[in-house]
Amino acid sequence: MLKQTVEEQIKVALKAGETLRLSTLRLLLSAINNEEIAKQKELSEEEIIAVVQHQAKQRKEAIEAYEKGGREELAAKERQELEILNKFLPQQLSEEEVKKIVLEVVAGLSDDDKKNFGKIMGSAMTRLKGQTEGNIVSKVVKEILAE
């Protein structure tokens, strides 16, 4: 379904003459197709979302690198691409919402596991998959363990 949406958006961008949007969507479709070839099967919606998240993460890293290098025009281009990719991702949870869910996860663990970073992260990431980035969950878990 998501793959079909990307294909449809490519056609729309092509007709509208939106070159940046078109190239970003083509790169995304290519990444999805490459992942399907690697796994030798059609991807599920969750797997496609993971590919989109990976592409978005690459853009964020590129933005940071370009800003450090003083290449603001390239950073601006990457920001625009990130904006396009974010439209294909589910709504991301805020840090407060993540903290609430992590606290629920901690409450459900045994006393021995309540101070185990790995157990908390594993349980939290299973519950939050696709709704937030791992580094945000990691930060929240570290804050909770520090309390």
pLDDT of residue 36: 94
Question: What's the pLDDT tens digit per position in 114-139?
Answer: 777 888 888 888 888 777 877 788 88
The proportion of the chain whose per-residue pLDDT surpasses 90, expressed as a percent, equals 50
* Domain ranges, ordered by start, for the chain: 2-86, 95-146
Interatomic CA distance for residues 56 and 54, integer angstroms: 5
The pLDDT score that the predictor gives to residue 29 is: 95
- Contact (CB, 8 A) for 140 and 98: yes
- Does the pLDDT of residue 108 top 90, yes or no? no
E strands, the chain, are none
Q: How high does pLDDT run on average in the chain?
A: 88
| Predicted confidence (pLDDT) per residue in 44-61, tens digit | 988 998 899 899 999 999
Report residue 18's pLDDT band, with 50, 70 and 90 as the boundaries: very high
Helix 19-39 vs helix 2-16: angle between axes, to the nearest 10 degrees?
A: 150
User: What is the arithmetic mean of pLDDT over 89-105?
Assistant: 83
pLDDT at 60: 92
Give the DSSP per-residue string, 55-97.
HHHHHHHHHHHHHHTT-HHHHHHHHHHHHHHHTTSPPPPPHHH
For domain 2-86, give the fold: Hypothetical Protein Yqey; Chain: A; domain1 (1.10.1510)
Q: What is the dihedral of CA 66, 67, 71, 77, to 10 degrees?
A: 70
pLDDT at residue 38 tops 80: yes
Q: Please tell me the distance from the alpha carbon of residue 135 to that of residue 39, in angstroms, as a whole number.
A: 26
Tell which CATH classification among 3.90.25, 1.10.10, 1.10.287, 1.10.1760 matches the domain 95-146: 1.10.10
Distance CA 23, CA 76 (A): 15
In angstroms, the CA 94 to CA 89 distance is 14
Whole-model pTM: value is: 0.73
